[in-house]
Chains A and B, each alone.
With several copies, the nearest count.
Chain A
Amino acid sequence: MRVVINGAERELPDGARVSDALRAVGVRADERGVAVALDAEVLPRAGWEETTIPDGARLEIVRATAGG
């Protein structure tokens, strides 16, 4: 299926989990200071493992960057 991760279209196996998406962008599941929004809603870390990504979903995966 196709999903949009951080603005880029990507192909993921059907039934992929959010944790797979994280792996796809090179984020270790245990990295602290990371957050995920699934279709503009925050998805708590606890749900990363179980939650399967709906087809065509929009994921935002963010971490801390320098800012004033």
Chain B
Amino acid sequence: MEDRLTIAGEALRSRLILGSGGFRSLDQFERAIRASGAELVTVALRRVEQAPGGLYEAIERAGCRVLPNTAGCFTARDAVATARLAREAFQTSWVKLEVIGDRRTLLPDAVELLQAAETLVGEGFTVLPYTNEDAVLARRLEDAGCAAVMPLGSPIGSGLGIRNPTAIEMLRQAVGVPVILDAGIGTASDAALAMELGCDGVLSATAIARARDPERMARALRLAVEAGREALAAGRVPRVDHVARASTSDAGLPDLTPA
């Protein structure tokens, strides 16, 4: 059987989820989608005057599925209303739930987030909440019926990678639903680390869209996610401190001392 990321019973063809924000052109975006191999691509909803159009079509052309987010919402109420609009617009019950608590750091608001999750689950949504690295909150979100949890590695767009690997590991151990590392990924090694910590997938927007060469970074992250997943499955060697462990035996060392 294949090793695929399965959310709410649906097996995805990639463990990398692509964020559509920050690309310099639609063409560049489409090339990045293909290079990433992603199946899910996040989008936001905005008034038509500010939303050029063509994005949704581009995503479908690439054979991908839209994962609407609730970016910009600061209350459970707004997030819920936005999720409902998205369901109507894209005919999908999946939503990346964002309820922000602070404009400067864009960190999630635990209380509003949980409340919004409960409401949306009650309305039949498949909820993927963007959350902090808090194992207890993650368990509560799972208990509320969320289909996955999306902890941040570091602030959105910061490129700081995973600032607290211990917390991500504890969160991973605390829940049964898939864990998607969201926010903070800056480059390939960050994505590989996320998978090695036990995450089931990685979402990347900024790291790809704002790289000098987005298409190439998309490929890099696709490879890194695979690499990290393989490494986890392979069972890494233990870390040993302060001493080396020879990879060559001394047995049979020739004696080459001149007479």
Chain A residues at the B interface, C-beta cutoff of 8 Å? 6-7, 25-27, 31-37, 39-40, 42, 44-45, 58, 60-68
Contact = CB atoms under 8 A, between A and B. Distances in A.
Interface in B238-259: 246-249, 252, 254-259
B51 A65 contact: yes
Interface of B: 19-23, 29, 42-53, 55-57, 59, 66, 68-69, 71, 81, 84-90, 156-157, 183, 203, 205-206, 246-249, 252, 254-259
- State the main secondary structure of chain B at its contact with A: mixed
Given A6-B254, A37-B254, A65 B45 contact: yes
Contacts of B203: 68
21 contacts: A27-B48, A33-B56, A37-B81, A39-B258, A45-B88, A58-B255, A60-B47, A60-B85, A60-B255, A60-B256, A62-B254, A64-B55, A64-B59, A64-B66, A66-B20, A66-B22, A66-B43, A67-B20, A67-B71, A67-B247, A68-B183
Contacts of B57: 32-33
Nearest to B183: A68
Contacts of B256: 37, 40, 60
A64 B48 contact: no
